[in-house]
Structure 1
Amino acid sequence: MTALARSAAVRLGAVTAVIACAADQASKVYLLFLYQLPQHAPLRLGPLFDFVFVRNRGISYGLFQTQGELGQWLLLGFKVAAVIALGAWLLNARDRFTALSLGLIIGGAIGNAIDRVAYGWVFDFVFFHIHTAGWRFDWYVFNLADVAIVAGVIGLLYESLFAGRAAKAP
């Protein structure tokens, strides 16, 4: 990869991170302060989705819940370290797909870190569920930052599992 192509990939990753973080924060600011979701929840969006108000004191999907301030700072420190490591990976990205995937993860991590600094918890609001006669499936409550992180991880997994094989095929 040429230096120009690598520079373009890094720029793509950085722009993707900014867009992912901005979309996440814009959705949260709108729902928290303009729509005032805590007072109107749940907001039914159809048979599969509701907007709800959840204070997530853990990491993605509510894992590792912490109640104290120390735990929140430890989780924030972990996110900062992860963003630094992912940023270093982005600077060495060899293609645009990797840069795009890393940008999604970085932007999502920064979006959730902003919540943790501003509120002491992460604002989750999208509740996916399927309720039919005799059967019920409730997914975790998540936000746009979580969507960006998951999409980025799926992109990296796809690339590591399938894209490398396609390039090596005779």
Structure 2
Amino acid sequence: MTFAIADKRLFRLGLILCAVIIVADQISKAIMMSVLEQHPYGIPILPVFSLVTAWNKGVSFSMLRNLPPEVLSGFAILVSLGLIYWLTRVENRLIAVGIGCVAGGALGNVIDRFRFGAVFDFLDFFIKTGSGWEWHWPAFNLADSAITVGVILLLIDGLFHRVDRAKTEHS
């Protein structure tokens, strides 16, 4: 079995983006942990946004929080390895960027699970009404944002670019 990379520039782009996201995520978390240590109740920024300290033992929206962090980390590492393998086959910049975002975000959160047993989240968006009712989006971090952006890019490619390719193949 031979191992070949379809487009070395796109492979390198995806890996560099993955690494940049991991580093930026860890730096942002270290800074926010330090800042929020002095503000245990959070820091209001806008009427709909605060910086908070939140620890997520699960995955998105705290799902699977009862699983050990090693299981969640192992799964995230396997997914990231699968994505990096996919990156060796990529011939499209949008997919390379999407894969780099998802893998970088997943691995950034894996680092938290290994270090702390949970993922540090600090971005809190919410809605307050005059009657005192509040609705909070689950707190998240830069890694989560990168995963979301990456998935959206992969969906855009899957929904629109694949249709374009199918049209040209049938013409």
TM-score by length of 2: 0.87
- Which letter maps to 2:127? I
User: Are residues 1:12 and 2:13 paired?
Assistant: yes
Distance 2:122 2:129 in 1: 22
Distance in 1 (CA, whole Å) between partners of 2:63 and 2:87 is 26
**Counterpart amino acid of residue 99 in structure 2:** L
Pairing of 1:127-146 with structure 2 (within 5 A): 127-134=124-131, 136-146=134-144
The CA deviation string for residues 58-113 of structure 1, in whole angstroms up to 9 with x for no partner, is 112211112xxx71111111111111111101111121110000000010011000
AA of the residue aligned to 1:95:
N
Match of 1:30 in 2: 31
Q: Which residue type is aligned with residue 62 of structure 2?
A: G
* Aligned counterpart, 1:51: 51
Counterpart selection for 1:120 from 117, 120, 136: 117
Alpha-carbon offset, residue 19 of structure 1: 1.3
- The residue correspondences of 1:15-164 to structure 2 (distance < 5 A) are 15-33=16-34, 35=35, 37-40=36-39, 41-66=41-66, 71-134=68-131, 136-164=134-162
What is the alpha-carbon distance in structure 2 between the residues aligned to residue 4 and residue 88 of structure 1? 9
Unaligned runs of 5+ residues in structure 2 are none
Q: 1:4 to 1:55 in 2, by over 3 A?
A: closer
SS at match of 1:142: coil
Tell whether the 8 Å contact from 2:7 to 2:91 is kept in structure 1 after alignment.
Answer: yes
Structure 1 CA distance for aligned equivalents of residues 86 and 9 of structure 2: 15
Question: Runs in 1 of length 4+ with deviation above 6 angstroms?
Answer: none
Structure 1 length-normalised TM: 0.88
Paired residue secondary structure (2:68): helix
The CA RMSD over aligned residues, in Å, is: 1.9
Identity %: 37
Unaligned runs of 5+ in 1: none
